[in-house]
Amino acid sequence: MWLTNRSSVLEMLKSIEWLGDRVRWINTLKIPWEEEVVESGDPERIAQAIERMEIRGAPAIGVAAALAVALVAVRSSAESLEELKSKLLATVERMKRTRPTAVNLYWALRRVESVIKGEYVSTRELREAVVREALSIYEEDIYVNRKMAEIGSKLLDDGDTVLTHCNAGALATVAYGTALGVIRAAWESGKRVKVIATETRPMLQGARLTVWELMKDGIPVKLITDNMVGYVMSRGLVSKVIVGADRVIPPGYVVNKIGTYTIAVLANRHRVPFYVAAPTSTIDYESKIEDIVIEERNPDEVRTVLSKFYVTLPNVEVLNPAFDITPPELVTAIITEKGLVTQPLEESLLRLRKQP
């Protein structure tokens, strides 16, 4: 009912869509075996989809959480402004508890929260303002990915082989992707790039999602296991690395999918440029690196292959941190929608903050 004008960019693969009184998403847990599309008008169902990783990837969870709050705005029967505000804020709090590491979630929810806390003359006015803000977050994500892709694709040369980790593609955003967006744009501009995708244990986002996306686009991709990175780099098979990020903290720490740090160390050892594609909504100027909560996920993710069978003894103790931290000195540059953040990253990040 309050859909904003849609651009032609939205014709491409979208992992999340707003249907006016429901949200539709691609269940990434089922990819590549099944292309299941789920629809729900229940914000709690969306919270669970984020927790289970049906919807995952830093930008995607931020957008989904904002749309979940918009559902309350559209569907709640609250009659007074006070009652509506309290229902909306309760949903904001619920969504904040879904996953702890990606800052885009909190960034999107903060935006929606500050709209909820504004002054309104009617519930209708508040409802419309909340939906408008959630849809702006949605639309901005598409624009920002396109912009990063345009900027980042200039870093890639014809014939490059780019290694990427996890899935930083359309399935981690609303559409197009961050790291995969850069690769896509280079490919679309005629550069014959190839991709090496790491499988990304334990949830296999690389093997399942990145491979699926790239093969759909006809971009050449080879899959490796995570422990092959050193070998392929030592053989000169990787020209550049591009990954996404869940949080970037000045002076340039990059919090991203577990395994990213190992790849950065190896890239440094083999003098392979290491790029991070991250929108400015992923940059966290407020937190300190020691305060970041690294999500510890269910140990069965490590004990099993996608809950299908055990690869070890069912009662073995495991560690399952979902993210790691790459220090600034290992990062060649960060590609944002406002431009490149180059070394020294700290100065460059501070300059970026002042940029409109």
Q: Which residues bind ligand MRU (CB under 6 A)?
A: 56-59, 102, 166, 168, 172-173, 178, 205, 244-246, 256-257, 322
The one catalytic residue in 42, 158, 160, 246 is: 246
Which tokens go with 207?
Answer: 């093997």
Is residue 317 within 8 A of residue 310, CB to CB? The reply is no
- State whether the Cα torsion 179-8-214-191 is positive or negative: negative
The total number of residues shown for the chain amounts to 356
Which tokens go with 97?
Answer: 């508890």
Residue placing its CB nearer to ligand MRU in the complex, 91 or 164: 164
Is residue 213 within 8 A of residue 195, CB to CB? The reply is no
Is residue 69 within 8 A of residue 75, CB to CB? The reply is no
Is residue 142 within 8 A of residue 9, CB to CB? The reply is yes
Smallest distance from ligand MRU to CB 128, Å: 30
Residue placing its CB nearer to ligand MRU in the complex, 113 or 246: 246
Q: How far apart are CA 23 and CA 20, in angstroms?
A: 8
217 catalytic per annotation: no
Smallest distance from ligand MRU to CB 353, Å: 21
Residue closest to ligand MRU when measured from CB atoms: 244
Residue placing its CB nearer to ligand MRU in the complex, 115 or 277: 277
Smallest distance from ligand MRU to CB 151, Å: 15
Smallest distance from ligand MRU to CB 56, Å: 3
Residue placing its CB nearer to ligand MRU in the complex, 164 or 332: 164
Smallest distance from ligand MRU to CB 173, Å: 6
Smallest distance from ligand MRU to CB 154, Å: 20
Residue placing its CB nearer to ligand MRU in the complex, 137 or 172: 172
Residue placing its CB nearer to ligand MRU in the complex, 73 or 278: 278
Catalytic residues: 246
